[in-house]
Amino acid sequence: MAKNLKAAPIAGDETEQRIKKAFKRKGWSEVKANDSWAIFKIMSEFVEGFAAMQRIRPCVSVFGSARTAAERSEFKLAEEVGFLLTKRGYGVITGGGPGIMEAANKGARRGGGTSVGLNIELPFEQQPNAYIDKEKSINFDYFFVRKVMFIKYSQGFIVMPGGFGTLDELFEALTLIQTQKIARFPIILVGTKYWQGLLDWIRQTMGEKHHNINASDLELISVVDTATEAVDAIDKFYSKYMLRPNF
């Protein structure tokens, strides 16, 4: 017999009002008007993003938790990643917020390289950090528009420990490469202990048990533990094609 599970409490009046609003019956004209204006807003975010990003040189996106405090080892590691990337000729793109994102932008600033922040407007925890180049701080309302910018203008992803947002960005890239919607580029996970459980589940449960991926799909991912190894993996990938950042 299934256990009785209590429903999760609603987090405040604001959440309750949003739920009620979502189920409120709307007339066709109201729906049409709202959707039409949303299209223009989405278009404007794409146009603004493309205009700003097409001027940058080769960059690597660094992902990770917004909740990582400055005294944590992961913060210092992300800062070193950002610094080493700029010293190898790459710019750095982050989600523009605090935590790992701030650390990578801080490292890029310290290295004198390009520091880009694609900030998402949220009701909590997300404000542009102080280490983004002024003309390269871009705000988005829509996650999917922002993810297009990450994919289109990055030569690689370095993924630090993070939460749902980090996983979303990681699996977006893996899906597009696996389905050949985009060309392959390096995806580097930093922190063996952090990522190993997920990788084991992908290999054993998704792959070997249920055959929902091919064994070769895991070859799209590299796992390292240091900033130097992460940046070396980016360089190694492109050295096979005799490509270098064109700074």
pLDDT, tens only, 8-47: 444 567 767 766 665 566 665 655 567 788 899 999 999 9
Q: Quote the tokens at residue 190.
A: 């930093």
For the chain, percent of residues with pLDDT exceeding 70: 84
Q: Across all residues in the chain, what is the average pLDDT?
A: 89
What three-state secondary structure class fits 91? strand
Given a cut of 70, is residue 230 above it in pLDDT? yes
- The CA distance from 246 to 85, in Å, is 14
- The CA distance from 188 to 201, in Å, is 18
What three-state secondary structure class fits 205? helix
Q: Is residue 126 part of a domain?
A: yes
Q: Is residue 122 part of a domain?
A: yes
pLDDT computed for residue 57 by the predictor: 84
pLDDT computed for residue 36 by the predictor: 82
Q: How many independent structural domains does the chain possess?
A: 1
Helices and strands, counts by H and E, the chain: 8, 7
Q: Which domain holds residue 139?
A: 42-239
Residues for the chain: how many in total?
247
Q: Could you tell me which residues are beta bridge partners of residue 158?
A: 62, 188
- Specify the higher pLDDT residue, 200 or 2: 200
Q: Is residue 143 part of a domain?
A: yes
- Confidence grade of residue 55 (pLDDT, cut at 50, 70, 90): confident
Q: Quote the tokens at residue 192.
A: 């063996």
Q: In which residue are the tokens 């992908």 written?
A: 202
Q: Is residue 75 part of a domain?
A: yes
- Confidence grade of residue 240 (pLDDT, cut at 50, 70, 90): confident
pLDDT computed for residue 112 by the predictor: 96
Q: Is residue 110 part of a domain?
A: yes
- Confidence grade of residue 7 (pLDDT, cut at 50, 70, 90): very low
Average pLDDT estimate for 49-74 = 95
Q: Is residue 26 part of a domain?
A: no
Q: Note the pTM of the prediction, 2 decimals.
A: 0.84
- The CATH number of the domain where 53 resides is what? 3.40.50.450
What three-state secondary structure class fits 119? strand
User: What residues contact residue 20 under an 8 Å CB cut-off, 6+ apart?
Assistant: none
- Confidence grade of residue 5 (pLDDT, cut at 50, 70, 90): very low
Given a cut of 60, is residue 114 above it in pLDDT? yes
pLDDT computed for residue 10 by the predictor: 45
- The CA distance from 36 to 54, in Å, is 27
pLDDT, tens only, 154-195: 999 999 999 999 999 999 999 999 999 999 999 999 999 999
Q: Is residue 21 part of a domain?
A: no
Classify residue 214 by burial, with Cβ atoms within 10 Å: 0-12, 13-18, 19+. Answer: exposed
pLDDT computed for residue 23 by the predictor: 58
- The CA distance from 88 to 156, in Å, is 13
pLDDT computed for residue 223 by the predictor: 98
Contact indicator for 246, 58 with CB cutoff of 8 Å: yes
In this predicted structure, which of 35-44, 94-103, 147-156, 236-245 has the lowest mean pLDDT? 236-245
